[in-house]
Amino acid sequence: MHTPLCELKIKIMIRITSWQELPFSKYIEIIKIKTNDDLEKTIQIVSILNEIQIEKVRKMKAKEFITYTSDLAFFENKPDFSIADKTLWNIKNIEEITMDNFISYEDSKTEEDSIPFILSFMSDKTEEEILKMSTLDVLNGFFLLQQYLVKYINHLPFLFLKETNKQKMKNLQKKLQFWRKN
């Protein structure tokens, strides 16, 4: 019995073989793997990257499993940020960063899955968009944001000092105006 073409479900397998092809959502899943056993970690990574149930991966023949693990070679190298798209990120200007933004950044910057959250409130992208983006581009955006915030942090004491001096000058002007009236 033949099924109509419209009912035929074909799963197109897209092999992930580079940092550029790795969606950030899968990267987060991978960094959350908590096991010291290298084989178990590899099984879980193959499962995540290829969207195969973990039990099916465990039951694979060695030859098939090795085929999948050959795609993981890119993990042996650090991401090459020189090929990342630097035009993707429209980081907010310093004037647009609220103290709430900055506090949220400080509170969540050490959490391994907080990068999409941080980048979403510091740029024009949503968390959903960021999770679909390439890991290379998202990590590049996060590093760009960190560089930007370091400049902001270094600039912050100067701004505070400037505001303090401005307030002192206003107070001094008020005192001088008082003496002028007399």
Helix (H, G, I), strand (E, B) or coil at 161: helix
Mean pLDDT of 102-118: 78
Mean pLDDT of 155-166: 57
Vertex 25 angle, CA 20 and 26, to 5°: 70
Vertex 102 angle, CA 96 and 107, to 5°: 155
Residue 8 phi, psi (nearest 5): -70, 125
Contacting residues for 35 by C-beta, under 8 A, at least 6 apart: 41, 44
Average pLDDT, the chain: 79
Task: Find the radius of gyration of the CA atoms of the chain.
Answer: 26
81 or 155: which leads in pLDDT: 81
For residue 24, what pLDDT is reported? 93
Contacting residues for 111 by C-beta, under 8 A, at least 6 apart: none
Residue 134 phi, psi (nearest 5): -70, 145
Q: How confident is the model at residue 72 (pLDDT cuts 50, 70, 90)?
A: very high
Tens-digit pLDDT profile for residues 46-67? 999 999 999 999 999 999 999 9
Whether the Cβ atoms of residue 45 and residue 26 lie closer than 8 Å to each other:
no
Q: How confident is the model at residue 93 (pLDDT cuts 50, 70, 90)?
A: confident
Count the Cβ atoms, other than its own, within 10 Å of residue 51.
10
Sketch the domain layout of the chain as residue ranges. Answer: 12-77, 83-181
For residue 133, what pLDDT is reported? 93
For residue 104, what pLDDT is reported? 78
Range scoring the smallest mean pLDDT among 16-20, 41-45, 142-146: 142-146
Range scoring the smallest mean pLDDT among 79-93, 102-116, 128-142, 145-159: 145-159
Contacting residues for 48 by C-beta, under 8 A, at least 6 apart: 26, 29, 30
45 or 117: which leads in pLDDT: 45
| Identity of residue 58 | R
For residue 8, what pLDDT is reported? 43
Q: Would you say residue 40 has pLDDT above 90?
A: yes
Mean pLDDT of 11-28: 86
172 or 91: which leads in pLDDT: 91
Half-sphere exposure of 17 (CA within 13 A, CB side): 7
For residue 149, what pLDDT is reported? 63
